[in-house]
Amino acid sequence: MRHRSHRHTLGVKKEHRLSLVANLAAQLITHARIRTTLSRARAVRPFVEKIITLAKKGVAAGSPSVRLHYYRLALSRVRDETAVSLLFKERAAAFANRKGGYTRIYKLDARRGDAAETALIELVGKDDVAPAKPKPRARKAKAPEAAPAQA
């Protein structure tokens, strides 16, 4: 039994998938919101969250050598220097007091050409709180049906 074998394959080989996710992550960091397919948004979410955590550790680090280490780790994964520098200079400070959940995915309509499900993935705001989940409504018990009268 092969454990931990599930990952978002996106129908491409490993190298293509890593490049695709890195490019989507760079665009998300740069623009703070991108529109893509739902499966790609679900694939890029854990990748971006780990990169933001690296940036938070780098910003919180006291010594410049540790900060540089985290910067280089993030740069090796994202491979876009402008996006990583933006992340370390501006975006990481916005998530300093947040323990996780840096992204949010909204489902959109189907794409016109191939009917693929589209989604909007965005970085959450600085003081943004998660919307409250509605409480589940209690189900009404069905009244027992009266048996037909026998004559």
Beta-carbon count within 10 A of 57 CB: 16
Concatenating the DSSP letter of every residue in 90-140 gives IIHHHTTT--S--EEEEEEEE-TTT--EEEEEEEPPTT--PPPPPPPPPPP
* pLDDT > 90? residue 133: no
Please, how many CA atoms are within 13 Å of residue 6, restricted to the half-sphere of its CB?
Answer: 1
At 75 the pLDDT is 98
Question: pTM for this structure?
Answer: 0.81
pLDDT at 118 over 90: yes
Residue 136 has pLDDT above 90, yes or no: no
What six digits make up the tokens of 71? 């910067």
Residues 59 and 70: their CA atoms lie apart, in Å, by: 9
Of 5-9, 11-15, 119-123, least confident by mean pLDDT is: 5-9
Contact, 21 vs 49, CB < 8 A? no
Residue 108 has pLDDT above 90, yes or no: yes
Does residue 146 surpass a pLDDT of 80?
Answer: no
Question: 47-100: per-residue pLDDT in tens?
Answer: 999 999 999 999 999 899 999 999 999 999 999 999 999 999 999 999 988 999
pLDDT at 105 over 80: yes
**Domains defined along the chain, listed by start:** 14-123 (3.90.1030.10)
Residue type, 147: A
Indicate the pLDDT class of residue 132, thresholds 50, 70 and 90: low
CB 48 within 8 A of CB 102: yes
Gap between the Cα atoms of 76 and 70, Å rounded = 10
Burial class (CB in 10 A: 0-12, 13-18, 19+), 70: buried
Select, from the ranges 5-9, 54-58, 128-132, the one with the highest average predicted confidence (pLDDT).
Answer: 54-58
